[in-house]
Chains A and B, each alone.
Chain A
């Protein structure tokens, strides 16, 4: 049973650039959420996608955008990168119609460094 996968593992960008991170949900899952985890902190919710629409959004600027594809995979895009965007970006998935819809399963994350 394939778990949540993310790519790339690591990424180095410079300020002002744009970045795209990718996520494939756990097999059978249809909902994808993205989180930002700064060093030494707990993850912060960015947004959640279901049925190819953004369903909920955390307190992040419009520079952060996303997309969900028909196969349930997802992308996170960040424009005009700032030094403060350096973090571990985590993708999580769940099945919306399951009795345990609130249990999210996480991928290994993408480590983004902005120089």
Chain B
């Protein structure tokens, strides 16, 4: 079956520090990969996505590259802000099968201190 493994949090950084949140996956097919962000008390917002190997998804300064050889999709940001404090979820979905269920990791809480 499909699974997603994320680094455990919380990750605590100072403002303007470099961020990496590791994500690896196991999939029976060739999945699409996503990062979602959840701010306190809210639902999930799509942050970025990639649909094929070596694709780089990017949004709001965040980036992640689809690495098929290492089955990874690590999230990075060069300079975090206090407003980036949230929980980040890595997820995958199967493609081409008609099944669109998302499989999520357990989430990584990011705390950015001023």
Contact = CB atoms under 8 A, between A and B. Distances in A.
Interface of A: 4, 31, 33, 35, 40-45, 48, 55-56, 58, 90, 92, 94, 101-109
A33 B104 CA distance: 14
A102 B107 contact: no
A45 B101 contact: yes
Q: Is the interface of B mostly helix, strand, loop or mixed?
A: strand
Given A103-B46, A108-B42, A43 B104 contact: yes
Interface of B: 4, 32, 34, 36, 42-46, 49, 51, 89, 91, 93, 95, 98-107
B100 A101 contact: yes
A115 B106 CA distance: 25
The winner among B42, B46, B100 for most chain A CB atoms within 10 A is B100
Contact of A56 (B36, B51, B89, B100): B100
